Amino acid sequence: MRSLLLIAHGSRRAASNEEVRRIGRALAAKLGDNFSLVEVAFLELAEPDIATAVDRLVAAGSNEVVWFPYFLAAGRHIAHDLPELLTEARARHPEITFIQMPYLGALPGLTDWLASSLTS
Amino acid sequence: MRSLLLIAHGSRRAASNEEVRRIGRALAAKLGDNFSLVEVAFLELAEPDIATAVDRLVAAGSNEVVWFPYFLAAGRHIAHDLPELLTEARARHPEITFIQMPYLGALPGLTDWLASSLTS
């Protein structure tokens, strides 16, 4: 059972966190059978944190967790904090396969999609 | 003459800012004739700042500036800081048309693109 973990930074502004949760729900609807569950987690300032969200996915029966950072550029969170948290998650759940996706800003096709969005 | 202003947050990590500049160059190549120039600007922590980048676009002959925030969610920067800076830019350059795009996280088609990226 494969699930998606969408990891956002988190904001002091509740509306901003709710916006990311909304993206998670929209994605869940579009991903269909490819992912059984989609959880949104926040690095800081909002709940759930990453460990809690991973535990939820595992408790719900996921044995494959796709780790997808919802970040645009590789600041220190992408370079340091998230890799550490992924190492911790793997240590706590050695039976689970964690698949690391590029963060959003490094996904292939970003500039093609942006170029078409900006000219349509 | 229409130009694109790609506005990122800026990071203390030079590699992160360079990454955004690289996205700007890749976009410029893909946007072709739709935009004469593409400038990347940073809200904080990196150069050029937004006012400097706007001045450059205007000095180069742009009379239409497409204002595109490279942000994923509407935290306080999107809710407060960038609208203020857009108002300032309009006041300083009343002869220029500023076209405000949704920030990246609010572009229509984001979840479609993400869903196809995450399943391909």
Q: In the beta sheet, which residues pair with residue A64? A: A2, A97
- The verdict on whether omega for the bond into residue A108 sits within 30 degrees of 0, i.e. cis, is no
Whether the Cβ atoms of residue A9 and residue A77 lie closer than 8 Å to each other: yes
Any B CB within 8 A of A71 CB: yes
Nearest CA to A118 out of B110, B97, B96, B31 is that of B31
Q: What does the buried/exposed string (b/e) look like for B7-40 if buried means 16 or more CB atoms within 10 Å of the residue's CB?
A: bbbbbebeebbebbeebbebbbebbeeebbbbbb
pLDDT at A120 > cutoff 90: no
Per-residue pLDDT tens digits for A56-109: 999 999 999 999 999 999 888 998 999 999 999 999 999 999 999 999 999 999
Which runs of E-coded beta strand occur in chain A? 2-8, 37-42, 64-69, 97-100
Residue A61 near residue A1 (C-beta atoms within 8 A): yes
Residue B58 near chain A (CB below 8 Å): no
Q: Which residue of B has its CA nearest to A115?
A: B31
Beta-carbon separation of A8 and B79 below 8 A: no
Distance CA B4, CA B6 (A): 6
pLDDT of B8-55, one tens digit each?
Answer: 999 999 999 999 999 999 999 999 889 999 999 999 999 999 999 999
Q: What ipTM, to 2 d.p.?
A: 0.94
B116 three-state secondary structure: helix
Q: Please report residues of B whose CB lies closer than 8 A to that of A66.
A: 118
Q: How far apart are CA A87 and CA B52, in angstroms?
A: 42
Nearest to B27 by CA among B118, B119, B115, B101: B101
Interface contact B105-A19, CB threshold 8 A: yes
A70 CB neighbours in chain B (<8 A) are 72
The Cα–Cα gap between B40 and B68 comes to 10
Prediction pTM value: 0.94
Whether residue B94 lies within 8 A of chain A, CB to CB, comes out as no
